[in-house]
Amino acid sequence: MKTVVYNDHLLSLEHINRADLQKIYIAGKNGELTCPICREHVQLKLGIQTEFPYFFHTQSPDKHCPEANVPAKPIDYIEQNGFKIPKGRAITATTKELDHFKPAKRITYKIPFTYENLVLTENTSGYIQLLAEAGIVLDENQVAAVTETEGSLLVLAGAGSGKTRVLTARTAYMLEVKKIDPRSIMLVTFTAKAANEMKHRLLSYPKIKREHVHRLVTGTFHSIFYRILLFHEPQNWASDKLLKKDWQREKILKEAGKELDLSEKEFAYDLALQQIGFWKNSHLSPNEVKPATEWEEQTALLYKKYEERKAGEGLFDFDDMLIGCYQLLKSSSSLLEYYQERFHYFLIDEFQDINKVQYELIKLLSGKHKNVCGVGDDDQAIYSFRGSDPSFLLDFETDFPSAKFIILEQNYRSAHEIVTAAGEMIAENRLRKAKRMRAQFSSGELPLLFFPYDEEEEATMILTDIQERISQGENPSDFAILYRTNAGSRAIFERLATSNLPFKMDSDSFYDRYIVRVALSFLKLSVNEDDPQSLCDILPILFLKQSALQSIKANSILMDCTLLEALAQIKTPHAFQEKKVKRCVSLIRKLKDLSPIMALDIIEKDIGFLDFLKKRGNESNQLEKGSDDLKDLKVAVKNFPTISAFLSHAAHMSSMNKEIKKLSKHFSEAITLSTIHRAKGLEFQNVYLIGAVDGSLPHDFALDSYRNGDFSALEEERRLFYVAMTRARLRLFISVPEYRRGKKAHPSRFLKALNKEKRPILK
């Protein structure tokens, strides 16, 4: 069905601009569309599997009415000398061509599937056979990784290759077959959850005794090395001196910032804290830091004062645990020798995510026996912003020249179609260990590319697809929607929030993000000039200190006027600043009569919000730029006719986010919304990867670095894409929007490897 009645007008899909499809979709959900034949309510079908959009009857989807004839547009006439003459067009004028719906398509790259039985069920004996009988079956390479217990070993464990099984089976083999003292084994993981999971698995292995598992030294880097510090220097490392919360660390930075005349609202202290963490994990002291920008220079000064304040009060943070333990061992040769004798074997999980301090600690402790087993995948190194460095894995043989290498190339998680596509894409990276992952099964479904018009249509198409699949028997927990940055979840969250589907996400509402919240404060003040919180939020943008708020409130009472009017009367040391404030107040008062999108343009350019962002330092943040939030906000407001309507929507979505975060803890079945970084280590039947366009994935900052001759950031973005692809077991859907943030988008350069004409045969 291609025709519909909307606002008493007969519309045809053939004549509707692509940009308006989302509005038509929403109108249908609101019951504003009717069939021109039977007058029943209809809706627009807009999904991934839909070859072309069409209308269907809401109450009876299988009903088919004949198409209505849309009359041709009447000819416009003009009167000239008493005659009606058809209105003409200039010869150079051209009719604007409508954007047409682009159907989804499978990737073209394909390798035929050949099954390889790599499982060892025969010709094995001893403990490995016992494991197999218990259902813990290992392939040939996994057996080698488990039984090579002496000397240094690097296990390159590709995505889905069973690295947790290898680590636990190796530990069990060392305990049961080699009879190694469990107290001499250090098993290091990157999360407490992973450490607990490994202990739990070990207890289920044949012949493994509970007392042996409990004697193992297991945990995260921080937990293990903090225990060492606490044992030897309890007076310096008491838990009540630990700065556990971000706000505690930020408080110290802000107090130091006052000495440097850095505004508490104007300077990005949260980002400065991240940067300081990066320097510390890279083993750089304040005196060793080499700032590249003015913002980094200010942050480096804060770093120095931050360390001085902690030292003066005997405080420490999580990063200090590792640095402090390293310094303790380096300063005491007898203590170092004791621990080198205590620990003979080191098993390190997620070795690609190790940072310099962690690596130096392992090198130090393993200096005598050199029995280090690192298990990781350089293709999944995605945490450089935390100080992680995959070069320690890539150059493992430099510090451990006699090291052996084992590659786990069998993927037990994902279908062949996903494994080969992901492998072809990541092979484009220059700095990596060569490996070719192979799957154990084929789904027969190549990854699907779909082409929504923009972020809004993207969310609608995904929701429609999930609803269809759940109606066919799949469970909500079978689905994950992955995105590059938290801001990318806004549209899909809003679509799911208005559906009846259960879902979960860890991030806060898009509308609670600092930059978005401040932009909304301008809009709120335009409709309510006595909103104190909104006034407080905008003061930094006008380069006024928070102390000005009390004067404004006092003047409001004395002059019997609104807070916004009182703001216009504020006195400052500079006449030009007073003039600017008056001009901004005048602009704010005019916003309420504009559409939200026009109002945001004025906030951004005329009021000077962009200038504030640059001064605040958000543009130095590689992960999520402040101006990105503003661009995403412009996309969110475009479908709202008034500021009041949009503010009501934003408040509702913010409340919904808080409610869903509480409820989702109790969901046994729920769709997962997650950044790619948070999804690492997880797996789902169906994965939707959104925003696969240049500027999103790869992110703008990586493209900027690449243009300046540094390709490392771009390679990490490709690894991030690879991680997202390999979360999928059966089906992978990749969204390639035609427009992003209101501008024409270009498909991610990473997709080129998936659309090659040649189809190599796997030998």
**What tens digit of pLDDT does each residue of 175-184 get?**
999 999 999 9
Residue 314: pLDDT over 70: yes
DSSP structure string for 736-750: --SEETTEE--B-GG
Choose the most confident range, by mean pLDDT, from 265-274, 376-385, 559-568, 685-694.
Answer: 685-694
The confidence band for 763, taking pLDDT boundaries of 50, 70 and 90, is very low
Q: Cα separations (Å) of 48 from 461, 464, 688? A: 5, 8, 11
Query: How many Å from the N-terminal Cα to the C-terminal Cα in the chain?
Result: 49
Question: What is the structure's pLDDT at 666?
Answer: 74
Which helix (H) or strand (E) segment holds residue 222: the answer is helix 221-232
| Model confidence pLDDT, tens digit, residues 94-120 | 344 556 788 999 998 778 888 776 655
Is it the case that residue 614 has pLDDT exceeding 90? no
Alpha-carbon Rg for the chain, nearest whole angstrom, is: 30
Q: What percent of the chain has pLDDT over 90?
A: 54
**3-state SS track over 135-161:** CCCCEHHHHHHHHCCCCCEEEEECCCC
Average pLDDT, integer, range 250-258: 90
Q: Structurally, what CATH architecture does the domain formed by 243-315 represent?
A: Orthogonal Bundle (1.10)
Q: List the 345-348 sheet strands across, edge first.
A: 217-220, 185-189, 345-348, 372-376, 153-157, 404-408
State the helix-helix crossing angle for 356-365 and 269-281, rounded to 10 degrees.
30
What is the DSSP code (8-state) at residue 602?
Answer: I
Above 90 in pLDDT, residue 286? yes
Domain spanning 448-509+648-754, CATH architecture: 3-Layer(aba) Sandwich (3.40)
DSSP type of residue 368 = T
In DSSP terms, which residues pair with 220 in a beta bridge? Answer: 189
430-483 per-position pLDDT tens digit: 989 888 899 999 999 999 999 999 999 999 999 999 999 999 999 999 999 999
Asked if 307 and 317 touch (Cβ cutoff 8 Å), the reply is no
**Is the pLDDT score of 661 beyond 90?**
no
Q: Is the pLDDT of residue 756 over 80?
A: no
Q: Which of 645, 635, 519 lies closest to 588, judged by CA?
A: 519
With 50 as the cut, is the pLDDT of residue 75 above it? no
Single-letter code of the amino acid located at 290: K
Specify the pairing of strand 54-57 against strand 42-45. antiparallel
**DSSP per residue, 633-688:** HHHHHTT-SSHHHHHHHHHHHHHHHHHHHHHGGG-SS-EEEEEHHHHTT--EEEEE
pLDDT at 626 over 70: no
Residue 688 confidence class, pLDDT cut points 50, 70, 90: very high
Please report which confidence band the pLDDT of residue 124 belongs to, taking 50, 70 and 90 as the band edges.
low
The pLDDT assigned to 91 comes to 39
The mean pLDDT of 392-420, rounded to a whole number, is: 92
pLDDT at res. 1: 86
CB 753 within 8 A of CB 109: yes
User: What's the mean pLDDT in 602-625?
Assistant: 65
The span from the CA of 273 to the CA of 262, in Å, is 14
* Nearest in space to 99 (alpha carbons), one of 454, 450, 464, 631: 454
**Phi and psi for 120 in degrees, rounded to 5?**
-90, 110
Residues 350 and 189 sit within 8 Å (Cβ to Cβ) = yes
Q: Is the pLDDT of residue 73 over 70?
A: no
Q: Round to whole Å and give the CA distance between 390 and 394.
A: 6
Q: What SS3 class is residue 430?
A: coil
Helix 700-707 / helix 712-725 crossing angle, nearest 10 deg: 140
Q: Give the residue, 749 or 92, on which the prediction is more confident.
A: 749
> What's phi and psi for 355, nearest 5 deg?
-105, 180
Mean pLDDT of 226-249: 91
**Is residue 425 a contact partner of residue 724, using CB atoms and an 8 Å limit?**
no
Alpha carbon distance 536, 734 (integer Å): 42
Please identify which residue in the block is written with the tokens 């919000």: 609
Q: Is 112 helix (H, G, I), strand (E, B) or coil?
A: coil
Comma-separated ranges of CATH 3.40.50.300 domains in the chain: 138-234+321-412, 448-509+648-754
> Any idea which of 35-49, 143-157, 548-562, 570-584 has the lowest mean pLDDT?
570-584
Give the integer Cα–Cα distance in Å for 181 and 174. 9
Q: pLDDT band at residue 242, thresholds of 50, 70 and 90?
A: very high
Residue 331, SS3? helix
pLDDT digits (tens, 9 = 90+) for 206-235: 999 999 999 999 999 999 999 999 999 999
DSSP string computed for 380-420: G---GGGTB-THHHHTHHHH-TT-EEEEE-EESSS-HHHHH
**Does residue 81 carry a pLDDT above 60?**
no
Structure tokens, 104: 């989804």
C-alpha distances in angstroms, 187 versus 164, 353, 734?
12, 15, 37
- How does DSSP classify residue 571? -
Give me the mean pLDDT over the 622-651 stretch. 80
**CATH of segment(s) 138-234+321-412:** 3.40.50.300
- The pairing of strands 153-157 and 372-376 is parallel
The string of DSSP letters for 490-549 reads: HHHHHHHHTSS--EE--SPPGGGSHHHHHHHHHHHHHH-TT-HHHHHHHGGGGT--TTHH
Would you state the structure tokens that stand for residue 133, as one six-digit string?
Answer: 């009988």
Q: How much is the mean pLDDT over the chain?
A: 87
Provide mean pLDDT across the span 29-46: 92
What pLDDT is stored for residue 618 in this prediction? 44
Which part of the chain has CATH 1.10.486.10? 512-647
Q: Of the candidates 149, 165, 485, 154, which has an alpha carbon nearest to the alpha carbon of residue 352?
A: 154
Q: List the structure tokens of 735.
A: 């969204």
Segment 138-165 shows an average pLDDT of 93
Annotation: CATH topology of 512-647: PCRA; domain 4 (1.10.486)
Alpha carbons within 13 A on the beta-carbon side of 324: 26
d(CA 716, CA 544): 40
Q: Which of 344-348, 539-543, 612-616 has the highest mean pLDDT?
A: 344-348
**Confidence grade of residue 71 (pLDDT, cut at 50, 70, 90):** low
Say if residues 342 and 371 touch (Cβ distance below 8 Å).
no
Which of these, 27, 42, 24, 46, lies nearest to 102 by C-alpha position? 46
- Strands 438-439 and 684-689 turn out to be unpaired
Q: Which two tokens stand for residue 688?
A: 């939707």
> How many Cα atoms are found within 13 Å in the side-chain-facing hemisphere of 56?
13
**pLDDT tens-digit profile of 648-659?**
999 999 998 888
CATH 1.10.10 domain locations along the chain: 243-315
- What are the angstrom distances between the C-alpha of 594 and each of 288, 638, 642? 52, 12, 7
